[in-house]
A and B are shown apart, each in its own frame.
Chain A
């Protein structure tokens, strides 16, 4: 158990819908990262938040947005869902966000878009 929690574990929805994935980092960690794992794209970095501020952005679609709240939990919002958005979404956290940090991964949220 990494100490990172993600809810829900599974999510099934339809095209065009909007969903919110939630992540609670390890106690004391200030950084939260989001990754997408799909069969065709592999593991891709989406976005990094540090203490409420966006720190780095990857190949995140405009339909996707994220935020980190004052209590440091984070939410990833996915809208106008398409079939291709079906994937495993991981959240990770780390103490400070520096490159030497170890990122601790949650168990993931499996999103299925029908």
Chain B
């Protein structure tokens, strides 16, 4: 079945340490890929997206993600985490079929806690 998987429900990281959030997808073709962040009580904000081309994508707030076709993965990274990065992070895909344009399918999310 088609799915988006975020294997880590919860990650705790120290401020200043690096962060990597995993995302795997299961679809016949490469979908469009997105990472969103949701801060407490807020809506979702797009961090970055991948459609084609360079497999390393730069986003806002110092985040980057790498698309690996062979692993069906689109992992999100940040070299040095700030306390303000504590939030829930969602990986999403758009299947880009004619009857589903704009239909984002989200993973279950990864809750990131930042400790001093």
Contact = CB atoms under 8 A, between A and B. Distances in A.
Contacts of A97: 101-102
Contacts of A107: 41-43
A35 B102 CA distance: 12
Nearest to A33: B102
Interface residues of B, number: 24
B43 A45 contact: no
Contacts of B108: 42
B101 A48 contact: yes
Interface centre among B42, B43, B104 (most CB of A within 10 A): B43
Nearest to B32: A99
Interface string A47-74: 0100000011010000000000000000
A25 interface: no
B11 interface: no
B109 A103 contact: no
B109 A4 contact: no
Interface string A70-107: 00000000000000000000101010011111111111
Interface centre among A2, A90, A92, A103 (most CB of B within 10 A): A103
B106 A56 contact: no
30 contacts: A2-B45, A4-B43, A31-B102, A42-B106, A42-B107, A43-B90, A43-B106, A43-B109, A45-B103, A45-B105, A48-B102, A48-B103, A56-B100, A56-B101, A56-B103, A90-B44, A92-B44, A98-B101, A99-B32, A99-B51, A99-B94, A99-B96, A100-B49, A101-B102, A102-B46, A102-B49, A103-B46, A103-B102, A107-B41, A108-B43
Given A35-B104, A42-B106, A44-B106, 4 more contacts: A97-B101, A98-B101, A99-B102, A103-B102
